[in-house]
Amino acid sequence: MVRTSVLHQTPLLIPHEDHAKPPEFNFNLKEQEWIYMIKKSNNMKELKQVHGQILKLGLICSSFCAGNLLATCALSEWGSMDYACSVFGEIIDPGSFEYNTVIRGHVKDMNLEEALLWYIHMIEDEVEPDNFSYPALLKVCARFRALKEGKQIHGQIFKFGQDDDVFVQNSLINMYGKCGEIKESCIVFEQMDQRTIASWSALIAAHANLGLWSECLKLFGEMNSEGCWRAEESALVSVISACTHLDALDFGKATHGYLVRNMNGLNIIVETSLIDMYVKCGSLDKGLFLFQRMAKKNQMSYSAIISGLALHGRGEEALSIYHEMLKERLEPDDVVYVGVLSACSHAGLVEEGLKCFNRMRLKHQIEPTIQHYGCMVDLLGRAGRLDEALELIKGMPMEPNDVLWRSLLSACRAHQNVELGELAAENLFQMNSRNASDYVMLCNMYAQAQMWEKKAVIWTKMANEGISQVPGSCLVEVNRKMYKFVSQDRSHPCSEEVYEMLHQMEWQLKFEGYLPDTSLVLFDVDEEEKRQRLSTHCQKLATAFALIKTSQGFPIRIVRNVRMCSDCHTYTKLISVIYERDIVVRDRNRFHHFKDGTCSCKDYW
């Protein structure tokens, strides 16, 4: 057979030097005691010594002894698959257990080709696979997104009558989900006669893998309604991730409560997921509280809280936690440094950011990725150091991507450097960028400079190429429901009330000295129309609606799809003090916490 050289090689004999100080073996030990000695081994050297004595005593013919020796060698973290294969070659009549063990060993090492090859050997030796054979094979197919091989194994499952086994079905759901075939995952799930918690968890994880976050929450609700109250941690992590991506803070809090009630302690992965959810849903203080209470922290934990602090513009605190991480002798990785550099960028900590960038390269020997360079371009660009940002892009060891040129273009628009902005835009267009925001930023820059003819050229180019601008919109949470508003929108059922509230707000704002910044209206129209356009920005509509529909003192939470304009920023600061409300706004880049007439960004964003 093809496998002869692998399976039937001469057994590995123990070198003489391995017996320099052998353990005190009792040659009268019974077979089960030798099995105990196998399991007691802590490394390959000890296992080889035990193996040598088993060979001398002729116990290798015992299926229990040989099976335990094979399993320990193949499945231990310190094991050796080469040695395991030699042990397999000593077994006279290997069965499904022995084949499954070797297959699982190759799966542990993430060796797809060898795992499948041994399955073929198993079939050739007329050893029938069982319900322990296929979950291991499907696991490695899922790991490598090997859909073709996974489908072939699915056919084998039908052939050998294992298609009704719940463990096999769960593995199929997971494999199809990891390979992006969510319909197939659902079909397997629907055809199950008996669904376990693991079945629900696999299906939820399959939807999470494809970013189908709303479906994750829906499935979690259905799972609970069917009486499956103790979900697996993997499912709960998927649900928490769904809350994070949907900005569903209330659902996230409910999931957290579910965890506390139904689990005896949370592991580090779940705790980190909760921290990430809270900070990205705007509840930074809750995220910080959970982080400080963690009994054990790792790189992921520090990365989550540092990135969260960056998102909220609290750069000094992010750096403080980064230094705490170093004191704990935890080595920061490239992901941690993305958070650190982003924190410096959002808080305007230019010199600190440059120091961290150099420390990453020189002390921690981390080669900067395109994400790190993106953070540095953003850091320098926000601070108005545009020439330095351009030089950094030119000196990169890799080709700059659209994100870097877009970041530079945004900085040029903010600092009104038309010449450099045109260079950034030209590079974006050479990359065949069809991102509407690139064209809009360039148009905005021309409009602010009153270069109306150049702006018209870009608008015409957008129209000719069929590129449409995504309108600015806001989502505002009221009574656990999300309501959407678009600028100048009058389609909402409460539109009349909202516009009446806007009128009252503007009246109050006059007493605070508010004057609309009409320079931000990027159309060549008269001042009256500019003021009218400004007054009906989506954020102002959403704020008015929330003021009407929520109780006095209740915080307002708004999510924007685009960056906040400076007029809305000034407007919201004043509204927070006039109406005594905390207002949290998340735009495309970060969070803004408005309270008592100030913003957490300190007017730097």
- Residues 582, 591: Cα–Cα separation, whole Å: 13
* Report for 476-480, 517-521, 524-528, 583-587: range of highest mean pLDDT: 583-587
Q: With bands split at pLDDT 50, 70 and 90, how would you rate the model's confidence at 4?
A: very low
Single-letter amino acid, residue 198: A
Q: Of the given ranges (9-23, 108-122, 218-232, 567-581), which has the lowest mean pLDDT?
A: 9-23
- Residues 149, 436: Cα–Cα separation, whole Å: 40
Question: Can you read off the two tokens belonging to residue 410?
Answer: 């945004």
For residue 118, give every residue at least 6 positions away whose Cβ sits within 8 Å of its Cβ, in sequence order, or none: 99, 102, 103, 106
Annotate 49-77 with b (16+ C-beta within 10 A) or e (fewer). bbbbbbeebebbebeebbbbbbbbbbbbe
Per-residue pLDDT tens digits for 135-153: 999 998 999 999 999 999 9
User: 42 near 78, Cβ under 8 Å?
Assistant: yes
Mean pLDDT of the chain: 88
Per-residue pLDDT tens digits for 458-471: 989 988 888 887 78
What local confidence, expressed as pLDDT, does residue 242 receive? 94
Sign of CA dihedral 298, 304, 310, 312: negative
Location of structure tokens 């086994």: 165
Main-chain dihedrals φ then ψ at residue 560, nearest 5 degrees: -105, 155
Q: Of the given ranges (57-66, 101-110, 272-281, 312-321), which has the lowest mean pLDDT?
A: 57-66
- Residues 161, 130: Cα–Cα separation, whole Å: 9
Average pLDDT over residues 237-253: 90
Average pLDDT over residues 308-335: 95
Please tell me which residue, 29 or 489, carries the higher pLDDT value: 489
* Report for 35-44, 59-68, 274-283: range of highest mean pLDDT: 274-283
Average pLDDT over residues 166-176: 96
Q: With bands split at pLDDT 50, 70 and 90, how would you rate the model's confidence at 550?
A: very high
Q: At what angle do helices 315-327 and 350-362 cross, to 10 degrees?
A: 30
Average pLDDT over residues 75-84: 91
Question: Can you read off the two tokens belonging to residue 421?
Answer: 């902005």
What local confidence, expressed as pLDDT, does residue 440 receive? 87
Residues β-bridged to residue 593? 584
Look up residue 471 and give its DSSP letter: P
What local confidence, expressed as pLDDT, does residue 519 receive? 66
294 has pLDDT over 90: yes
Strands 556-560 and 583-586: parallel
Per-residue pLDDT tens digits for 191-234: 999 999 999 999 999 999 999 999 999 999 899 888 766 777 78
Per-residue pLDDT tens digits for 5-36: 333 333 333 333 343 444 444 444 466 777 77
Per-residue pLDDT tens digits for 45-56: 988 888 888 787
What local confidence, expressed as pLDDT, does residue 588 receive? 84
Average pLDDT over residues 291-302: 95
